[in-house]
């Protein structure tokens, strides 16, 4: 089974000033940055062989605990999702409420400590990438959980895409 993936993050921004300058002269400062990762099939550097993607709905103030090993999640082909190493994680908040992504006790160490996490506003995206051969180790029973919480009333929807390696 072959897998390939690429992720790109780019920013083009311009800060301009037209007011207060003589003769209608404008000043602009531009910033441009593009970052990318490309993955091929395997378990080494810049490689993965597992892919998970899903759109999920959270009820009001629901905390959903995703179990990456033995938690009933299935990959894009319907097989059990159980990576030994995580290579990238994307979570997009489709709204209508903010969500939080948190490392619980026995959580995957994508954040420095248990209880650490990030709030993702409506329309926001969390993108993390670990292209090294080591990736982020996923360990059954001690490091395989991830919590996603709807922080408000009403339902909220998010999409999650993760790439991993079997070894």
Average pLDDT across each block of 10 residues of the chain; the chain has 167 residues. List them in order. 86 80 78 91 96 97 95 91 96 97 97 97 96 96 96 96 96
The end-to-end CA distance of the chain, in Å, is 15
Q: Residue 18 and residue 167: Cα distance in Å, rounded? A: 56
Range of the structural domain that residue 137 is part of: 43-165
Tell me whether residue 22 is in a domain.
Answer: no
Is 19 domain-assigned? no
CATH code of the domain in which 151 resides: 2.60.120.770
61 near 99, Cβ under 8 Å? no
Q: What is the pLDDT of residue 18?
A: 67
Q: Report if residue 14 sits inside a domain.
A: no
The number of domains in the chain is 1
Among 113, 118, 82, residue whose Cα is nearest residue 98: 118
**Residue 3 maps to a domain:** no
- What global pTM score does this model have? 0.89
Q: Is residue 34 part of a domain?
A: no
Report pLDDT for 70.
87
């Amino acid at each position: 089974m072959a897998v390939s993936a690429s992720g790109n993050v780019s920013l083009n921004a311009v800060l301009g000033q037209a007011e207060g300058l003589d003769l209608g002269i404008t000043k602009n400062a531009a910033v441009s940055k593009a970052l990318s990762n490309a993955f091929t099939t395997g378990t080494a550097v810049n490689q993965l062989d597992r892919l998970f993607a899903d759109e999920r709905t959270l009820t009001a103030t629901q905390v959903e605990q995703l179990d990456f090993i033995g938690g009933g999640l299935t990959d894009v082909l319907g097989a059990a999702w159980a990576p030994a190493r995580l290579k990238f994680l994307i979570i997009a908040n489709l709204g209508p409420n903010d969500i939080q992504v948190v490392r619980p006790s026995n959580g995957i160490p994508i954040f420095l400590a248990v209880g650490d996490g990030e709030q993702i506003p409506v329309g926001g995206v969390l993108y993390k990438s670990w292209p090294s051969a080591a990736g982020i180790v996923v360990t059954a029973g001690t490091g395989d959980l991830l919590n996603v919480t709807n922080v408000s009333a009403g339902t909220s929807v998010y999409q999650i895409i993760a790439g991993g390696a079997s070894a």
